[in-house]
Amino acid sequence: MMATLQKSAMTREEIVMILFDLFRRGGYDAVSLADISDATGLGKSSLYHHFPGGKPDMAEAVADFARGWMREKMFDPLKSASPLDKRIDAMMKTVSAMYEGGGAPCLIASMMISPTASPKAIATVRAIIADWIAAIGAALRADGAGAADARRRATAAVIAIQGALVVARAAGDEKIFSEALKTAKSSLL
Amino acid sequence: MMATLQKSAMTREEIVMILFDLFRRGGYDAVSLADISDATGLGKSSLYHHFPGGKPDMAEAVADFARGWMREKMFDPLKSASPLDKRIDAMMKTVSAMYEGGGAPCLIASMMISPTASPKAIATVRAIIADWIAAIGAALRADGAGAADARRRATAAVIAIQGALVVARAAGDEKIFSEALKTAKSSLL
DNA sequence: GTCTATAATAGGATAGAC
DNA sequence: GTCTATCCTATTATAGAC
């Protein structure tokens, strides 16, 4: 039995996942500590307990979380032993889920706009794009593609995904996103 | 001769062009009236003289300006009598200049992230994307393409431009942007 | 680890002189 | 049309109790 009675402690990772969603949807600047307090149910002081550096600290934690998540869920599976088309297909399914079928913004795009976000956080989200292109490119090369062609097609795929996200949300038409994923998949095979 | 001596009056359009650059680079939320005051050299009260509704008013003015600019510089020229490849080429040159070779963010993407921007401003920038796809599509149809194919390829071109903007800035490599424009051009012809 | 209370600052907005 | 001065609220951040 616990010595003291307190509201259920929230783990840092649980908070970070909430922050991830807040930041990608609202952008770093528009999200206030009050918003974060509401979304997490934690008081401001509790937030500073978890993130002594305040919002910049939170942004870095979110960027690190996103990078680790992408590595685990998207980049590492691209290295598996299954056939290339299965791996690309799995990646596109993960992409679709992550962006909620085209309705949810990308953290990378949201964070890159913010001039007040910590340089470390921005550097991390930018690195995710480079990692992503590299991961797809490596899969294509392992399947026999030339280095230059692999890189070119991998870059085009990430461009199509990011662009479709912007255009689908602007047009309010998630079909644009799903169609773009299909086309991108074909171009990779 | 003027009756009173005052600092040179800035026209509303001059202010709007400065606001356009501030908003697309920093995002609506991160740009404060102090920032705007610095960039324009005008005091806050002068800004409220030009935009009685404050920041939301400014965002709407910028969105309207962008829409008019796009219509004049990109959509109308697509209707001209010159050969299709010349028109597409001209559009891509305008795109490259507008986004400064891939280094400058898109106002549309910046504004869409902002949850606090006026719904009217957001509706306007979203409409620009629809207009853009429609303008390219109309040019392709006038050149003999089927309606569905024209729409599909026009959408893909705008996706490629918007995606390349995100990826090129994330990777810090403007060549990604220029290469993507070349590829997009080929796909339209 | 979470809370309440409070400080300090920055933000948007207005009044009134020139 | 622009300025200075001011107001109010929101925001970040801290102190200290539990």
Q: Report which of B118, B122, B127, B72 is spatially closest to residue B98, judged by C-alpha positions.
A: B72
Q: Name the amino acid, one letter, at A152.
A: R
The whole-number pLDDT of residue A6 equals: 54
Nearest by CB to residue A115, choosing from B30, B115, B130, is B30
Q: How far is B108 from chain A (nearest CA, A)?
A: 8
As a whole-number percent, the residues of chain B with pLDDT over 90 amount to 95
Alpha helices in chain A (DSSP H): 12-26, 33-40, 44-50, 55-70, 84-98, 107-113, 119-142, 147-171, 174-188
> Which of A136, A166, A186 should we substitute to test contact with B (largest number of B Cβ atoms within 10 Å)?
A166
User: Are A170 and B133 a contacting pair at CB < 8 A?
Assistant: no
pLDDT (tens digit, 9 = 90+) per residue, B85-138?
Answer: 999 999 999 999 999 999 999 999 999 999 999 999 999 999 999 999 999 999
Q: Is the pLDDT of residue A124 over 70?
A: yes
User: Are A171 and B26 a contacting pair at CB < 8 A?
Assistant: no
Domains of chain B and CATH, by start: 12-188 (1.10.357.10)
The whole-number pLDDT of residue B7 equals: 59
Q: CA dihedral defined by B151, B114, A174, A62, rounded to 10 degrees?
A: 130
pLDDT (tens digit, 9 = 90+) per residue, A139-154?
Answer: 999 999 999 999 999 9
pLDDT (tens digit, 9 = 90+) per residue, A39-70?
Answer: 999 999 999 999 999 999 999 999 999 999 99
Q: Cβ contacts (< 8 Å) between A26 and chain B: which residues? A: 113-115
The whole-number pLDDT of residue A2 equals: 43
- CA distance readout (Å), B62 to A85, A115, B20, B36: 45, 20, 6, 13
